[in-house]
Amino acid sequence: MIRWSAPWALLAFLLPVACSSTATSDPDATQEVTPEDPAPDADVSRDVATNDVPERDTPPHDAEDGEADSSPGDELLRPNVQEGRAPNAPDQTPAFVGQTRAPQPAVATAFRREVVASGLGIPWGIAALPDGSLLVTERAGTLRRVTADGSVSAPLGGVPEVVAAGQGGLLDVIIGPDFTNDRSVFLTFSEARAGGTSAPAVARGTLSADATRLEEVSILYRQDPPRASQQHFGSRMAFANDGTLFVTFGDRGGAGEDAQSPFNSIGAVIRIHPDGSIPEDNPFADGERGAPAIWSWGHRNVQSATIGSDGSLWTVEHGPQGGDELNRPEAGANHGWPIITYGVNYGGRPVGQGITAQEGMVQPVYYWDPVIAPSGMATYRGDLFPDWEGDFLIGGLQSRSLVRLTLRDGRVHTEEWLPLDVRVRSVAIAQDGAVLVGTDAGEILAIRPE
């Protein structure tokens, strides 16, 4: 167990930032892995790198706003955790005040972390069950159950066959809103398609009474068109309050032009019923102006999704080099990728025309440059951290932290990084209010107050 007091928590973050390097830590790599990729010491092969080498860190610069921020009626806030770090796109400016680099809370969170389970593969998704146990996906293709005492089960049967290559494999897991009655479990995974291609798919099954297998497994939705790429599958899921299911799909890498078409599910968020049918109030339900399942499009690689306290879907997606985005996807909205972005290509070249805004395209609520490399997300609802109620908790692969955002009036008010010194892949909330994070080190950690 590691206990962090407020000053030591800040020091624990600053040390890895100060000592980090732009070089890959994999001595056998010919290219550096992208921030989305797994750590080279993971138990499965690392993800395929992009064609260019990403910067891991950028040199410091003199910040314009180095003092703590405050306003009438507010507590004194500390500068953003990345204050002093140069952005990858220094010539780009936010569209509105507070769109990036929000201040930290006045006081750092004092927390401790406990190892709930270890010895896992990359735990891409975590679903908390009513009995206190967890369903955990291992990206290599296995689904396991972790009991309340930390015991890890043998692989569950009935899981669809996956293509475990690059960033693909067995991805997210979520239980249905009526799980206590129907024991429904939903999975996303990369599925083999014709001609050596693959694409993410959504499956539904029923957890057996003894919790050892999935039964009656069926495919609800398949992303089209498939690709030979092993990147950018997206694949996070979230159930809306009305019982419909949101699923995110990535642009599959490359130039990303297909993400600008609402007639396919490349770089898109879809919305379906739990049986796979299409809600009648979807923006393109009639199929005339877009594919019936499409909710929003123009996304790059959404790997974080949650339903906020306002009842809306909120997502975080990977940007290229810079430009990770927090969005609130709305029905029929075009989020702009790859036409507009607050990032640049790996190596520093502009993406497209290098613009950040265009009429008819939605601005992100917030963005990061440099990136956090998001993976996993939850809205905090619990008793252990009462001040966090409704806050967003986001896994950071590049930041090696749990990123906490507070909102006011639909905008980010503060940003805090809880340093964990490990790539955070998945986030969930336990029944007792502890925050569960799955790491690329093969562990499930519980975050509790100090």
**pLDDT tens-digit readout, 247-265:** 999 999 977 789 999 999 9
Catalytic residue numbers read: 232
Q: What is the pLDDT of residue 34?
A: 56
Reading the block at residue 418, the tokens are: 């809880």
Sorted by where each starts, the structural domains of the chain and their CATH numbers stand as: 2-59+75-449 (2.120.10.30)
Rounded distance between C-alpha atoms, residue 290 and residue 259, angstroms: 12
Q: What is the pLDDT of residue 37?
A: 56
Strand order in the sheet with 324-327: 302-307, 313-317, 324-327, 366-368
CB 29 within 8 A of CB 47: no
- Tell which phi-psi region holds residue 13, choosing left (phi > 0), alpha (psi between -120 and 50) or beta: alpha
Rounded distance between C-alpha atoms, residue 306 and residue 296, angstroms: 15
CB 318 within 8 A of CB 312: no
Rounded distance between C-alpha atoms, residue 313 and residue 319, angstroms: 19
Reading the block at residue 151, the tokens are: 């015991």
What single-letter amino acid sits at 387? Answer: D
Q: What is the pLDDT of residue 32?
A: 33
Q: What is the pLDDT of residue 257?
A: 85
CB 104 within 8 A of CB 81: yes
**For residues 193-228, b (16+ Cβ closer than 10 Å) or e, as one string?**
beeeebbbbbbbbbbeeebebbeebeebbebeebbe
Q: What is the pLDDT of residue 263?
A: 97
Mean pLDDT, 10 residues at a time, the chain of 450 residues = 41 38 29 46 29 30 38 75 96 97 97 97 97 97 96 98 97 98 98 97 98 98 96 98 98 88 97 98 98 98 98 98 98 98 96 97 98 98 97 98 98 98 98 97 98
